[in-house]
Amino acid sequence: MTRLRFGANYTPTRGWFHHWLDFDEDQVRADLESVAALGLDHVRVFALWPLFQPNRALIRPRAVEQLVRLAEIAGECGLDVAADALQGHLSSFDFLPAWTRTWHRRNLFTDPEVAEGTEAYLRTLAAALHERPNFLGMTLGNEFDQFSGDPHPDPDRVDPAGAGAWIERLLKACEDAAPGRMHLHSEYDAAWYRDHHPFTPAHAVGLGPATTVHSWVFNGTAQRHGPEGAATGHHAEYMVELATAWAADPRRPVWVQEVGAPAPYVPADRAPGFAEATVRNAVASAATWGLTWWCSHDVDRSLADFPEHEYGLGLMTADRAPKPLGRRLARVVGELREHPPEPPARRTAVRFDPGPDPQDAPRRAQFAPGGSVFEAWAHLAGEGVRAALVREDRADDAAYLRERGITEVVGPDEVRGGTP
């Protein structure tokens, strides 16, 4: 079987992502050595877009060199690197270059000059990293879709066709500059759960060589089911299964690119148990490529204005000391590496109707916490049933069901707890 990958989203201990302003190789090395010491095999790293491309025609060579140097240090620590370019959005803060805002306000997704600038930026970073043997690939940006609509306070509107064209153009720029790498795009769960969001499940499973999911249980899951509820501990697994149901090829890999234990929704004393349940359940899905925890280190409390839950998400403190959460994750990862799990058969599947236009998926609320499909699947998980999901238009396709090992298809209303 394919080796499962386990990593961390790298949060620098000194200066958070502002560390690019005062890049310190010794601090970076100490951070990454502490990640490797947990037995993890990769990091996802983030360039701050306004610092790397402060003018549409200026991609700072020194910033690019620092990104490459970070990748080199990671390699020396035994870590592979995936790089995100368009930051974009991180931990409640937006980082957009001045040439896209206020007096130069241009739509991030549809303006031709913005498209040219971002294309050049992605191509430059991908080309710079391409020769690094530990470079996994680019992700276009971190949940960049949050700029495209509600609830963002100042959205750059785009329709699904425009969103798809934007993704395709930038993925092509990455592939042209660094062919054969795993170049991806990432969305937050509105793409799966919010009706009429312009970034859709079809984009997630149809563009790029793999699907990414970001599993955050503060989206109503933990509030509704509690920190130890089946829906909470199985949320990442559910998202992998939802992605598999949408994909044309059920073998398409799914990367749980972000998952974390946000307090108070998951209290600190329950975070280790939540982490173990999340990881073991996620790898029970055959499509899971790997899992990358958010995040490597806590945010230093000397920094102001973060939402409270953002400060304590690290596997380690800001002084690089492993927390109980980090120690538990390290133990579980070690066990899974020594005894790789065999994904269980999923004989039962919950069917869903994506709506009259699956490309737009107007009925996505049914997949969200409280929705009929979500609650039916979560109820089965609580009963110990490893359920799949299947689209209505494939629910009677005998060959498709046989390929996935499904022998029973049920509607949400046939499962107790399936209706909100």
- Please say if the pLDDT value at position 1 is more than 80: no
- Please give the Cα distance from 414 to 279 (Å, whole number): 29
CB 388 within 8 A of CB 381: no
pLDDT value at residue 359:
80
- Please give the Cα distance from 327 to 34 (Å, whole number): 12
Mean pLDDT computed over 242-252: 97
**274 CB-side CA count, 13 A:** 30
Mean pLDDT computed over 80-93: 95
- Please say if the pLDDT value at position 420 is more than 50: no
Mean pLDDT computed over 37-60: 98
- Please say if the pLDDT value at position 416 is more than 80: no
Closest by alpha carbon to 214, among 291, 151, 266, 148?
291
Judged by average pLDDT, the poorest of 10-14, 311-315, 351-355 is: 351-355
DSSP string covering 331-351:
HHHHHHHHS---PPP--EEEE
**Phi-psi map region of 6: left, alpha, beta (phi>0 left; psi -120 to 50 alpha):** beta
Residues ≥6 apart with Cβ < 8 Å to 269 = none
Question: In the chain, where are the structural domains located?
Answer: 5-338, 348-414
Percentage, residues of the chain above pLDDT 90: 95
- Please give the Cα distance from 139 to 209 (Å, whole number): 11
Q: What is the DSSP-derived secondary structure letter of residue 3? A: P
- Please say if the pLDDT value at position 184 is more than 70: yes
pLDDT value at residue 358:
77
Mean pLDDT computed over 185-189: 97
Q: Which residue has the tokens 């095999």?
A: 41
- Please say if the pLDDT value at position 372 is more than 70: yes
- Please say if the pLDDT value at position 307 is more than 50: yes
Q: pLDDT tens across 276-293, in order?
A: 999 999 999 999 999 999
| Domain 5-338 architecture | Alpha-Beta Barrel (3.20)
Residues ≥6 apart with Cβ < 8 Å to 100 = 106, 108, 114
Mean pLDDT computed over 241-267: 97
Distances (CA, A) of 375 to 51, 100, 150, 215, 346: 43, 41, 24, 16, 18
**180 CB-side CA count, 13 A:** 5
pLDDT value at residue 419:
54
CB 257 within 8 A of CB 185: no
pLDDT value at residue 361:
81
- Please say if the pLDDT value at position 81 is more than 50: yes
Q: What is the DSSP-derived secondary structure letter of residue 195? A: T
**380 CB-side CA count, 13 A:** 26
pLDDT value at residue 9:
98
CA angle (40 as vertex; 36, 42 as ends), nearest 5: 90
In this structure, the number of other CB atoms found within 10 A of the CB of residue 175 comes to 18
Distances (CA, A) of 378 to 11, 237, 335, 388: 32, 10, 26, 11
pLDDT value at residue 418:
61
- Please say if the pLDDT value at position 206 is more than 60: yes
Supply the mean pLDDT for the chain: 96
Q: pLDDT tens across 219-229, in order?
A: 999 999 999 99
pLDDT value at residue 362:
85
